[in-house]
């Protein structure tokens, strides 16, 4: 068979790209995902935060991400859990307040943001322990986006839009004639096409290497944890992100709390073989357990974390780039080969905008 475009990778990047192409008249579009379900790998382990924490260049991507998820929820006719709850950065010291003041000055050129005092910070999030709080930075437009129901809704949209979604099928390499893509080899046979998009997440670099393309995106282990329901957790609580505690993040999830952190120092425990990254089911849980220890250590700030019981752990392999920028566009040397990678832990936030 043949296709107008073949996309490798059924996470938020590849799936939203397939939808944008189909809605703009490309047909047929084939989306390949080697797992049985879309979004079951790193997307499934995403924090589900959509807000403005990168730079001015990424602000439009975040803004579009908010619009995309709101529209997806509206069009689905279901409650996907997409909520405008705001994003709050609490300060845990006078130095932290100064850090947030500088951040507010930076962000106000591209985002609605407000520096608030300690009392207002704790009013916005009653989970916080007032003696530990010195102030906060608040983004009222922040959305929480649970990835599991969102990906289910996105799968239905893809089917309605006519995208040929093939799960359980992996892309192996692009076939070329001269310096041009002519087909994509897959585990289910070749697909003739002149356009191939490598959006394979943690496998992007390894897949590209089979065609002699070097993609500077390295998969690194990250995890998130969900607690059992807690009586202190109520609807509408803002998402929390702590600059002073390993970029520890917290938001509500099914009556409990979802939390994790972003590693500030990379060691051997965060690294995986980039030439053959494991599936998420085979990833170790030491990062999740590290985050659980961070949560206990943060009990002086969020007391409810001290005795919260863990319901679920999930790990993924977001891809990181040397300069913290995303990688997208035509790969050099092969006409018709495109790359969409380098999420830098912001795939849910920036994915739909990158796809557009």
DSSP string across 77-139: TS----EE--EEEEE-SHHHHHHHHHHHHHHTTTS--EEE-HHHHHHH-TTS-GGG--EEEEE
Q: What tokens appear for 184 in the block?
A: 């994509």
Q: Which two tokens stand for residue 238?
A: 């803002």
Q: In the prediction, which pLDDT does 33 show? A: 98
For residue 284, pLDDT over 70 is answered with: yes
Would you call 194 exposed, middle or buried from its count of C-beta atoms within 10 A (0-12, 13-18, 19+)?
middle
Maximum distance among all Cα pairs of the chain, rounded to whole angstroms: 67
Average pLDDT of the residues in 74-98: 98
- Look at residue 264 in the predicted model and tell me its pLDDT: 63
Distance CA 285, CA 221 (A): 10
CA 352 to mean position of chain CA atoms: 10
Provide CB contacts within 8 A for 68, sequence distance 6+.
16, 352, 353
Read off the pLDDT band of 272 (50, 70, 90).
confident
Q: What is the mean pLDDT of residues 203-230?
A: 95
Let me know: does 56 contact 110? Beta carbons within 8 Å: yes
pLDDT more than 90, % of the chain: 88
Name which of 216, 199, 245 is nearest 43 in CA terms.
199
pLDDT given for residue 128 in this prediction: 98
Q: CA end-to-end span of the chain, whole Å?
A: 26
Residue of 73, 69, 84 lying closest to 140 (CA atoms): 84
pLDDT, residue 266, reads 66
Q: Are 191 and 201 in contact (CB under 8 A)?
A: no
pLDDT at 273: 80
What pLDDT was estimated at residue 131?
98
Kindly report the CA angle at 13 between 333 and 157, in degrees rounded to 5? Answer: 125
Range with lowest mean pLDDT among 124-133, 162-171, 273-282: 273-282
Q: Return d(Cα 203, Cα 209) in angstroms, integer.
A: 10
d(CA 53, CA 242): 12
Q: State the chain's mean pLDDT as an integer.
A: 95
Q: What is the structure's pLDDT at 304?
A: 97
pLDDT reported for residue 283 = 86
Whether the CB-CB separation of 39 and 145 falls below 8 Å is answered with no
- Of 105-114, 247-256, 274-283, 333-342, which gets the smallest average pLDDT? 274-283
pLDDT of residue 265: 65
Q: If pLDDT is split at 50, 70 and 90, which confidence band does 329 have? A: very high
Instruction: Between 104 and 284, name the one with better pLDDT.
Output: 104
Give residues with Cβ within 8 angstroms of 342, minimum separation 6.
215, 216, 217, 319, 320, 321, 325, 326, 327, 328
Q: Does residue 224 sit in helix, strand or coil?
A: strand
Per-residue pLDDT, averaged over 139-153, amounts to 97
For the cut 90, the answer to whether the pLDDT of residue 307 exceeds it is yes
- How many Cβ atoms sit within 10 Å of the Cβ of residue 3? 21
pLDDT tens figures, 114-139: 999 999 999 999 999 999 999 999 99
Question: Could you tell me how many helices (H) and strands (E) the chain has, helices first?
Answer: 8, 22
What percent of the chain stands above pLDDT 70?
98
User: Which residues, 6 or more positions from 129, have their beta carbon under 8 angstroms from its beta carbon?
Assistant: 300, 301, 302, 303
pLDDT value of residue 13: 97
Amino acid 291: pLDDT: 87
Looking at residue 335, what DSSP letter applies?
Answer: B
Look at 42-56, 185-199, 258-272 and tell me which has the smallest mean pLDDT. 258-272
For the cut 80, the answer to whether the pLDDT of residue 268 exceeds it is no
Q: What average pLDDT does range 40-50 have in this prediction? A: 94
């Amino acid at each position: 068979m043949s296709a107008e475009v073949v996309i490798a990778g059924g996470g938020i990047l590849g799936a939203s790209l397939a939808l944008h192409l189909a809605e703009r008249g490309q047909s047929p579009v084939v989306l390949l995902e080697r797992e049985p379900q879309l979004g079951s790998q790193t997307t499934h382990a995403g924090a589900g935060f959509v807000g403005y924490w990168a730079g001015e260049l990424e602000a439009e991507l975040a803004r579009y991400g908010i619009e995309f998820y709101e529209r997806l929820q509206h069009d689905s006719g279901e409650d996907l859990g997409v909520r405008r709850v705001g994003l709050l950065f609490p300060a845990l010291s006078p130095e932290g307040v100064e850090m947030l003041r500088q951040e507010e000055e930076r962000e106000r050129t591209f985002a609605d943001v407000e520096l608030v005092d300690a009392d207002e910070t704790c009013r916005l999030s009653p989970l916080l322990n007032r003696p530990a709080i010195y102030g906060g930075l608040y983004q009222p437009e922040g959305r929480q986006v649970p990835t599991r129901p969102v990906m289910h809704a996105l799968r239905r949209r893809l089917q309605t839009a006519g995208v040929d979604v093939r799960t359980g099928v992996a892309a192996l390499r692009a076939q070329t004639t001269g310096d041009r893509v002519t087909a994509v080899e897959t585990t289910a046979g070749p697909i003739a096409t002149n356009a191939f998009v490598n959006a394979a997440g943690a496998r992007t670099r390894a897949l590209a290497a089979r065609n002699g393309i070097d993609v500077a995106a390295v998969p690194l282990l990250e995890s998130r944890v969900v607690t059992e329901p807690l009586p202190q957790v109520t609807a509408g609580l803002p998402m929390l992100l702590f600059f002073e505690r390993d970029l520890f993040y917290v938001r509500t999830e099914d009556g409990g709390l979802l939390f994790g952190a972003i590693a500030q120092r990379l060691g051997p425990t965060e690294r995986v073989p980039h030439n053959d990254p494991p599936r998420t089911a085979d990833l170790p849980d030491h990062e999740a357990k590290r985050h659980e220890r961070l949560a206990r250590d943060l009990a002086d700030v969020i007391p409810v974390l001290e005795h919260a019981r863990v319901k679920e752990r999930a790990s993924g392999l977001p891809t990181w780039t040397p300069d913290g920028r995303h990688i997208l566009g035509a790969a050099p040397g092969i006409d018709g080969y495109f790359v969409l990678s380098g999420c830098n832990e912001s795939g849910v936030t920036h994915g739909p905008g990158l796809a557009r």
